[in-house]
Amino acid sequence: MHPLHLFNNTVHGLLYTPENATHLVILCHGYKSSQHHHALTAIAQGLYKQGFAVFTFDFPKTKSNADLEHQVTTITRLVAHFNSDYEHISLLAASFGALGAATAAAELPTLTSFVTINGFFGSWHIGRKYFFAYLAFRSLSLVNRTHRRIQNYYASHFLPSHIHTPTLVIHSKVDKIVSIVQSRRFFQQLRGKKKFQALQTATHSLSSTSDIELVIAYSTNWLRQNH
């Protein structure tokens, strides 16, 4: 594992590199989170032990933590950066990061595979903690230029039916932050190879070690099946 500072020192990340690894998995964190989130760190280490190279990173800071277009640009640049070093590149994204990764995946037909975990995909099916923040954002998009740009970008670029990458959708049935309804609707719109995996008791942030181990196992199997 070693640190990387990319794109004029705007993207900071950690690269896990098993010997002779040919498959890189890029991990995307969620809203107001970071690459150091306990579950993402554990997933990165778990995939590394299974022989996958893994890159974790922090999205660059912007005026809005919900700047979808900026996240998509970052993901696309990362895939291009690593493209010559690995035969296979996949995305694994959690929560709000799943929205950016899904939007990018529709524009990246060469991705090997895609995994979402408790993904937020832009609808109002969320818990009370963020529901009013969601309503505030939608209201501001009517009058604020930055929010309107983000909303318009989402409306025109979030196209699940354009994703041809084999996609594994993982979501907890009891997620109180983002409803499983969001992932089910996203899954229904996918037209390529896909699989839905429900977690029975996991929190949104995967606070249980056993749930993290399940996610690692499901993800590893999917990545290998579509290698």
- Residue 109 CA to residue 121 CA, distance in Å, equals 20
- Residue 56 CA to residue 183 CA, distance in Å, equals 23
What pLDDT shows up at residue 122?
A: 94
What pLDDT shows up at residue 136?
A: 86
What pLDDT shows up at residue 24?
A: 98
What pLDDT shows up at residue 32?
A: 85
DSSP tag of 212: H
What pLDDT shows up at residue 1?
A: 80
Residue carrying structure tokens 């890189």: 24
What pLDDT shows up at residue 146?
A: 87
- Residue 88 CA to residue 152 CA, distance in Å, equals 32
What per-residue string of b and e applies to 44-81 under the rule 16 or more CB within 10 Å gives b? bbbbbebebbbbbbbbeeeeeebbbbbbbebbbebbeb
In CATH, which of 3.40.50.2020, 3.90.1300.10, 3.40.50.1820, 3.40.190.10 is domain 2-225?
3.40.50.1820
Query: At a CB cut-off of 8 Å and minimum separation 6, what does 83 contact?
Result: 89, 110
Contact 29, 97 (CB under 8 A): yes
What pLDDT shows up at residue 130?
A: 86
What pLDDT shows up at residue 7?
A: 94
Bridge-based pairing of strands 53-58 and 11-16 is antiparallel
Domain parsing of the chain, residue ranges: 2-225
Q: Is the pTM of this model over 0.85?
A: yes
Query: At a CB cut-off of 8 Å and minimum separation 6, what does 141 contact?
Result: 147, 148, 150, 151
Tens-binned pLDDT, residue by residue, of the chain (227 aa): 899 999 999 999 999 999 999 999 999 999 889 999 999 999 999 999 999 999 999 999 877 777 899 999 999 999 999 999 999 999 999 999 999 999 999 999 999 999 999 999 999 999 988 888 888 888 988 888 888 998 999 999 999 999 999 999 999 999 999 999 999 999 999 999 999 999 999 999 999 999 999 999 999 999 999 98
- Residue 123 CA to residue 180 CA, distance in Å, equals 11
What pLDDT shows up at residue 194?
A: 98
